[in-house]
Chains A and B, each alone.
Chain A
Amino acid sequence: NAGVTQTPKFQVLKTGQSMTLQCAQDMNHNSMYWYRQDPGMGLRLIYYSASEGTTDKGEVPNGYNVSRLNKREFSLRLESAAPSQTSVYFCASRTYGTPTYEQYFGPGTRLTVT
């Protein structure tokens, strides 16, 4: 039982390049989330998927797209990277509709855009 896994762990992009961050969970959770973490700002929600087949914008969705590939996998795509997207990205999952269930987080992806 690996929990939530993310790839890659580190990535350096040039401005304008694109990339996809991958996330997978093996806990049979129906909800998955993408956050970015910037110093002094906590974690901010980019997109989430309450259940397979649905996705919704969070607080900071601009410049990102997501795909809920199946129940296990939720990817985040940067179509044209910008320096403002330099951040640490976390994927999380939990059981939807029951607020008492906590989110489980992946180890994060550290992205630098030059």
Chain B
Amino acid sequence: AQSVTQLDSHVSVSEGTPVLLRCNYSSSYSPSLFWYVQHPNKGLQLLLKYTSAATLVKGINGFEAEFKKSETSFHLTKPSAHMSDAAEYFCVVSSPFRDMRFGAGTRLTVKP
């Protein structure tokens, strides 16, 4: 079985401060992990993915995530938040020949 837990349903930061969105996963297989972003009333866009190459993964718009097997975590970070980062973020786990499982989402608010 595989599942994802996003530890915060809502995160609020000020513009220019760091962003941390937390994700823990469970998987019986060697997982692939993804972060997707959804802006209001839009579809889902891939931010980054971990596929067992480098444990530190860089994505679009300055985001990155670190895969930590010992902690079963895949937290998303960005050094400096921008107003345009305000959106909902989903952590997703996938395994061979199985479907993808989504976390419940974390809504990021960026204050001016």
Q: Which residues of A pack against B, CB within 8 Å?
A: 33, 35, 40-45, 48, 50, 58, 90, 96-100, 102-103, 105-108
Contact = CB atoms under 8 A, between A and B. Distances in A.
B97 A102 contact: no
Interface in B59-112: 90, 94-105
14 contacts: A40-B104, A41-B104, A42-B102, A42-B104, A42-B105, A43-B44, A44-B102, A58-B99, A90-B44, A99-B32, A99-B51, A105-B43, A107-B42, A108-B43
Contacts of A90: 43-44
B46 interface: yes
B46 A40 contact: no
Contacts of B44: 43, 90, 105
A103 B94 CA distance: 10
Given A44-B102, A99-B95, 20 more contacts: A33-B99, A33-B100, A35-B102, A40-B9, A42-B102, A42-B103, A42-B104, A45-B100, A48-B99, A50-B97, A58-B99, A90-B44, A96-B97, A97-B97, A99-B98, A100-B32, A102-B46, A105-B43, A107-B42, A108-B43
Contacts, number: 50
Contacts of B31: 99
B25 interface: no
A90 B103 CA distance: 16
Nearest to B33: A99
A96 to B, nearest CB: 7
